Structure 1
Amino acid sequence: MDAIGLYIHIPFCKSKCPYCDFYSGKGNYEKYKNYTEILIDKIRYWSQQVENSVKSIYFGGGTPSVLGSELLSKILFEIKNNFIIESNAEITVEINPDTGKTIDFKLLKDAGFNRISIGMQSAVQNELDELGRIHSANDAKITVIRAKEAGINNISLDLMMGIPHQTLNSLKESIDFCAGCGVTHISSYLLKIEKGTRFYATRDKLELPDEDMQAEFYLFAVDYLKSLGYEQYEISNFAKNGFESKHNINYWKCGEYIGIGPSAHSFFKGKRFFYGRSFSDFEKNTTTFDCDGGNEEEFIMLSLRLKSGLVFEEYKEKFRHSVSLHLLRKIHRYADAGFMEIDSQRAFFTPKGFLVSNTIISDLI
């Protein structure tokens, strides 16, 4: 029986960023305590449905760190008390640099957290202002230092590309900042204007880089991060050797996971389902079936998000037959155009191919 991942959604933020479409809102300590009790109830429920061991736990949001170290530790204690957690499990919590200045990292480390992901987005103040962030680059640096002092050395920083008024020089400045902090992982992704966000409402007034400039940002980041020792392993993720996110790789490898919290998605026993974007649905434990998961098309689509790509032997082992000649012919055409590479073992995107991967994958499957 394969080990699974656990995702815990913390739907609270001090303020809502204008680009964010994740389910979150403002809270206070009473709300945080009440939500913690509801979470614990659902953790106990799901532990009765799951016999699998757990290989990764990820606290996302929202801003999980607004709960504070004691409530986060209490939630993790309940998970460890109710699920079979593998001894080398990766246990991540997202931290906002604003709360990272005060949170007790020693308490988090003692509770079992061994990885943190810091939502920095940029090291350039005017870009942070554009994004509505309530922290400075120095706050992020302090957060990294405090986490390391507590013994948590597996640290990721988020970096956004395509921010209004961003330049190649300012992107380089942010990348240099991340490398200078000595973090082990960097998530670097292009800004998307999502429906329902404040940026979407004002999209015609935003001075955003055009598609050619965004492509230049992305290709520069891939090359420059590699020169600094951060190898790309997924479209938007780069890591020092051995520090790739186990939790994220489980998603892209079509591994199963349980998501607990309003708006959280799950893939378990071949089914994809989710909680609605409301506290009441979550409190009532109401989930909605999405679709069957893990079929051939989904496996190809998710595998190709990884730099390792579609490994033919893995595909054959899972589906009991080889990749079709029709698919291979299509891949060869994209390889000839420089968007993919293919050999006897696997097919994968080049950095140029990753930029248009959604379009290519739609054609392939």
Structure 2
Amino acid sequence: MNNEKPFGLYIHVPFCDGKCPYCDFYSLPADGEGMERYTQTLLELLPAYAQRYPRPADTLYFGGGTPSLLGAKRLGALIARAKECFGLDGAEITVEVNPAEDLSGFLRGIRAAGANRLSIGLQSANEDELALLGRRHTAKQAKKAVRDAQSAGFDNISLDLMLAIQRQTKESLLRSIEFCADAGVQHVSAYLLKIEPDTVYGKRKETLCIPDDDAASDLYLFACEELEKRGFRQYEISNFSKPGCESRHNLKYWRCEEYLGIGPAAHSFMEGKRFYYKRNFSEFLGGAQPVPDGDGGGFEEYAMLALRLTEGLTDKGCRARFGGKLPERLLRAARLYEKGGLTVCGDGGFYFTPRGFLVSNMLTAEILYTKTK
């Protein structure tokens, strides 16, 4: 291993035991033979990538799908091979899990293999909302999953919440937030529901009883406030953590740092180039190569990603990345929105407030591309 800056390693596990009606991620039914073939393919690919990128990684993230379906033995073999290939000294190693099954033995197994962070798909702590989301677990099962994880030695646990879902109110959302706080987890990802066209939700959008845009905005701002009250500091549009427990892997995406993604639908950004694997399981098993997706890491892309973070766009970050301070015209443009409570500006840069995050796409475009005097 050389001394270049470590990158992040992402492994996509595309297996699920069912498709949630809102989900647009690439996934397919779990199958024992398919999972075994997939694991073997990954075990062969990791050394090949290590030859291409003979550098260390300091994060490893198993996303999905439902990575826990692979089982502790397969995941343990993948972690061991990744360590052989990329070091992973002091690495954050995250596994996504769903709490619909008894995970106690699995969690002990992956913890022994080196996993040290969990992301658990809670989505809601209200049984009626879980049913409407098509989730296959209960709040009681989610609570047991967290306790089992803690018993297995995990002290860095994240729970996912969904905002602006069917029939959600501030009262029901508060119950979910209190569930997270009472469970003693270190991180919460709270995402506004987005209706994707090719999902079950997308095909019957008009029949869904979901909050309108104003109500969704209120729920988001309410979540930000209540999570902060309980010690979860917002550090990105949809992510909140106890101090020091931010997702190191996901921060690589938002800081425009390098990451290597392996598996169908996985994306990468390495050595200034972006590339991805097509959403095709059989082609991946057959040795299909990733598809080039252009260059990356330019200033505009860096700025767009930085503005997802509460640290925002700063002189310090621009100097480290590009050798010069933040362009003054951007700071002038950002100041136009400060009175409206959308931005906070200082001598060294600016960032968006939670209200600014709600209109971040529009706001980012206005600041980056509008000419100011």
Q: Does 1:78 align with 2:81?
A: yes
* Contact 1:65 1:95 (8 Å CA) reproduced: yes
- 1:9 is aligned to 12
Alignment of 1:77-96 (within 5 A): 77-86=80-89, 88-96=90-98
Offset at residue 101 of structure 1 (A): 3.4
Kindly provide the amino acid, as one letter, of the partner of residue 91 in structure 2: A
* Contact 1:115 1:154 (8 Å CA) reproduced: yes
Distance 1:266 1:99 in 2: 32
Kindly provide the amino acid, as one letter, of the partner of residue 337 in structure 2: Y
Distance 1:274 1:154 in 2: 29
- 1:39 is aligned to 42
- 1:200 is aligned to 202
Distance 2:71 2:327 in 1: 51
Change in Cα spacing, 1:285 to 1:82, as seen in structure 2 (3 Å) is: farther
Runs (4+) off by over 3 Å: 99-103
Offset at residue 13 of structure 1 (A): 0.3
* Contact 1:65 1:100 (8 Å CA) reproduced: no
Distance 2:323 2:230 in 1: 41
Distance 1:119 1:56 in 2: 20
TM-score (normalizing by structure 1): 0.98
Distance 1:82 1:165 in 2: 48
* Contact 1:272 1:292 (8 Å CA) reproduced: yes
- 1:159 is aligned to 161
Distance 1:318 1:43 in 2: 29
Distance 1:339 1:316 in 2: 25
Q: Does 1:123 align with 2:113?
A: no
CA deviations over 1:32-86 (Å, ceiling 9, x no partner): 1111011111112111111221111000000001111111111111111111212
Distance 2:187 2:179 in 1: 13
Distance 2:102 2:74 in 1: 15
- 1:310 is aligned to 313
Distance 2:93 2:205 in 1: 37
- 1:286 is aligned to 289
Distance 1:79 1:343 in 2: 42
What is the percentage of aligned positions where both structures have the same residue?
A: 46
Q: Does 1:245 align with 2:247?
A: yes
CA deviations over 1:178-201 (Å, ceiling 9, x no partner): 111000000011000012111000
Offset at residue 102 of structure 1 (A): 4.9
Offset at residue 314 of structure 1 (A): 1.5
Kindly provide the amino acid, as one letter, of the partner of residue 53 in structure 2: V
Q: Secondary structure of 1:107's partner? A: helix
CA deviations over 1:331-359 (Å, ceiling 9, x no partner): 11122321100111221000100000011
Kindly provide the amino acid, as one letter, of the partner of residue 160 in structure 1: M
* Contact 2:104 2:152 (8 Å CA) reproduced: no
Distance 1:53 1:195 in 2: 39
Aligned residues: 364
CA deviations over 1:253-300 (Å, ceiling 9, x no partner): 111000000000000000011000002332313111112110000111
Distance 2:101 2:66 in 1: 9
* Contact 2:240 2:246 (8 Å CA) reproduced: yes
Offset at residue 364 of structure 1 (A): 2.3
Offset at residue 103 of structure 1 (A): 4.4
Distance 1:282 1:100 in 2: 31
Partner residue of 2:141 out of 122, 132, 139: 139
Q: Does 1:257 align with 2:256?
A: no
Alignment of 1:191-230 (within 5 A): 191-230=193-232
